[in-house]
Chains A and B, each alone.
Chain A
Amino acid sequence: MEAPLMHLALVGTPNSGKTSLFNALTGSRQKVANYPGVTVERKEGFFVTPLGRQASVVDLPGTYSLRGRSPDEEITRDFVLGRASGEKPPDLVLCVADSTNLRLTVRLLLELKQTGRPLLLVLNMFDIATRRGVSVDAARMSEMLGVPVVTSVAVRKAGIAELLRKTDEIAKQAQVSVQQNLWKPLSVAELRATQREADKIIAATVSLPARPDTWTARIDAVVLHPVAGLLVLASVLFVMFQAVFAWAQPLMELLSDAFSTLGQFVHDTLPAGLAQSFLQNGVISGVGSVIVFLPQIIIIFLFILLLEDFGYMARAAFLMDRIMGGAGLHGRAFIPLLSSFACAIPGIMATRVIDNRRDRLTTILIAPLMTCSARIPVYTLIISAFIPDQEVWGWVNLRGLVMFGLYAAGITSALGVSFLIKFFMLRDYAPAPFMLELPDYKMPRLKSIALGVYTRAKMFLQRAGTTIFSMMVLIWFLASFPQPPVGAEGPGINYSLAAIIGHALAPLFAPLGFNWQIVVALIPGMAAREVAVAALGTVYAIEGGKEAADQIGQVLATKWSLATALSLLAWYIFAPQCASTLAVIRRETGGTKWMALTFAYMFVLAYAASLLTYNVAVALGAG
C-alpha cells in the first residue's frame, strides 16, 4: 500500500529564508490559493523524498510567536495547532532559522515544542553563516533542544539532501512522536524565560562570528542615512519607472508584431464575415493588445521581488515611517503600497502585516491610487501617441518623465487622501507602534526571484485568457450587433449596442472631453483596467478596418485632441472602475461600506481631475 501524503509546514521568523527553502524543495510544483474562509495567501508545494514518499509543504506567514497579533500570524498559529478549518494539523513542522541570526527562532522553536507536533529545526543559509565565521554544533544543539536539527543551503539542491533524508526518518515514526498540545499564549514572564533558555542554548552551541557582517553595516551607513538614504530611495524608484518604460519597449514591439502577423494570417485564411471579424478583431487584437504589456509587468515584479530579497524593503519602510506618518500612514504600509504598483490586489492583501485596524483600513483605501501595472498599457498607449519621443535636459526621456509624473500624481493624491481620512474620519487616531526587523542584506536568490516572476506572469496570462478574453468577446459582441442595415453609410459600429450605450453615457463625460468611443472602452475596463486599451482597439478596429487595430496609437493621435488625451491620463490616475480591486476591498474590510466609499471617492477625484485637466488644456490651446 502506498504511504499517505505527508503534510509539512514551514514556520519561522520573517526573513529566515522560508520562501527560498520552499522554492528549493518544490521547484515549480506549487499552487497558490487562499485559506478557506479567509483571504490569506496559501502557498502549497509538492515534492518526493529519497524513499519515494509523497509530501506536501505549506509556506506559512512569518511570525515571532504563536500569539497571532495580525490576521497573517493567526493563520500560522491556527495551521500549526490544526485549528484552521478544512486543514489537518501538519505531520511535521519545519522550523526555519537564519543561521546567522538564531536568537529569535530558537525562542520560537521552544514555544513550538509545546504544541506537541513533530519538529525539525532547519538551519537555513548555513553557507552564509559559515563564510562569516559562525560555527554551530548542530548535534549538541539538537540534544539540548530535544529536536532534530539539520543544516541547509536553500540555493543549492544538494544543500537540502540531509533535510529530505531526515524527513524520511521522521516520517517512519511520525505516529508515535505526536504529543498532546500544551500550548497556550505565553505570559511576559514565560517569554523572558524562553528567550533566556534560547540564549543559553545558543551560547553553548554557537560560536559567534570572528568577522561580523561588515557589508550590511557599510551599506546601511549610506542607505539609512537620513539624507543620502532618501536620495537612494528616490533614485531606486526613478530607475524602476524608467526601466518599465524603456527596457520593455523592444520586447513589446516584438509581441505586437507577432500578434498583428497572426491577425493578418487569420484575415487572409478565413473568408470575410463574422467568424473572421470575431477571431481577428475580437480575439487576436483584443487579447493581444493586453498580452503586449507582459514585459512591463515582468519588469515591475522583478524590481519588487529583487528589492524584497535583497533586504531593501524593510529599509524603505524605516526611511518612510515618519514621512508617511505625517500623512497618517504607518511605515509598514510602505511595502503594501509599493506592491500596489504592480497590482492593488496583492497590495491590499499585503496589508495583513499591519496589525492596527485603522492603519490597515487607511492603507487599503489608498492602495488603489498607487499606479498599478494595469494602468501602464493605458498610459503607454496615450503617451506614445501624444507625447513626442525626445530628450529633455540632455538625458531624460520626455515620455519617461511624463510617466514618472503620473506615478508621482498617484502617490501625492494617495498621501492627500490618507491625510483627509486621518483628519475627518479616524480622528481619535493614536499612532500604532512601528517595530520591524531590518534583516542583513543578502544576494538575491535568482532562482527564487525567477519563480516569483514566473508565478506572477502566469497569473497575468491566466487573467488575459479568462477575464480579459470574456470581456473582449463581450465588447466585440456589443460593437458588432446589431449589424448595420444593408446599404448603410459609415462604419458598422455606429449602429451597434456599444454605440447606443456610449452615446447614452456620453453627455455625463462630455465635460471631460471624452467622446463616446472612450466611454464605451471604459465600460469593459471595469473588469480590468488594461482592457480599456483592447476595447479602444476593438472599437476603432471595427470602425476603421484592420489598419486601425495595428496602429491604434496613430489612430488615436488623429481622432483625439491633446486635451482629451491628457484628460484620459488624468482619469486613469484614479481609474475607479476596477471591479476586482473593489471586490478585494470588500473581502478584506468585511463589508460593502468601505468598498462603496472607495469607489465613490475615486470616482469623484477622477471626474474632478479630468475636468480640470481638460479645461486647463483647452484654455492653453490644446483643445
Chain B
Amino acid sequence: MAKRGYSGVIHQVDAEGVDSSLPALELESRLLELGFVEGARVEVLHEGIVGRDPIAVRVDNVTVAVRRREAMAVIVV
C-alpha cells in the first residue's frame, strides 16, 4: 500500500480486476482523463484520516484526489 511520500513513474494503467463499482473500461477512461497515463510521474502527497483514504496524488503538475480502491488500477514502478 502506497504510503505518504511514495513516488514513482506510472508503468501501466489497467482497471481489469480492480474492485471498483465502475466497469473496468470506464474507470480506466476516467483515470486517463485525469492525467494518469503511462510515463507520468506520481507522488502520494496526502492521506485521509479514515483508513489513510482517500489519497491526494501529484500527477506531473496536477494534484488529484482518489480512493485507494480505484488507485489500485495505477501500477507504479
- Chain A residues at the B interface, C-beta cutoff of 8 Å: 64-65, 67, 69, 100-101, 103-104, 107, 186, 188, 191-192, 195-196, 199, 208, 212, 216-217, 220, 224-227, 229-230, 314, 317-319, 321-323, 325-326, 331, 356, 430-440
Contacts and interface: CB of A to CB of B under 8 A. Distances in A.
B63 to A, nearest CB: 4
Contact of A433 (B25, B30, B39, B56): B30
Contacts of B21: 356, 430-433
16 contacts: A67-B29, A103-B60, A104-B62, A192-B38, A196-B37, A212-B61, A220-B46, A226-B48, A318-B48, A323-B49, A356-B21, A431-B69, A433-B69, A435-B65, A437-B34, A437-B64
B2 interface: no
A225 B21 CA distance: 28
A224 B56 contact: yes
B61 A433 contact: no
Interface residues of B, number: 37
A216 B70 CA distance: 25
A422 to B, nearest CB: 14
A582 B31 CA distance: 36
Contacts of B26: 69
Nearest to B22: A433
Which 7 pairs between the two chains have the least Cβ-Cβ distance? A322-B50, A226-B49, A430-B21, A64-B33, A224-B46, A438-B63, A191-B32
Interface string B34-77: 11011100000111111101101000111111110110000000
A230 B66 contact: no
A322 B38 contact: no
Interface in B5-38: 20-22, 25-35, 37-38
A430 B18 CA distance: 13
Contacts of B48: 226, 318-319, 321-322
A433 B67 contact: yes
Contact of B65 (A65, A188, A434): A434
Nearest to A326: B50
A437 B63 contact: yes
Given A433-B20, A433-B67, A226 B35 contact: no
A421 B27 CA distance: 26
Given A195-B32, A195-B37, A434-B70, 16 more contacts: A65-B29, A69-B30, A100-B61, A104-B35, A191-B32, A196-B37, A199-B39, A212-B61, A217-B45, A227-B49, A321-B48, A321-B67, A331-B54, A433-B22, A436-B64, A437-B65
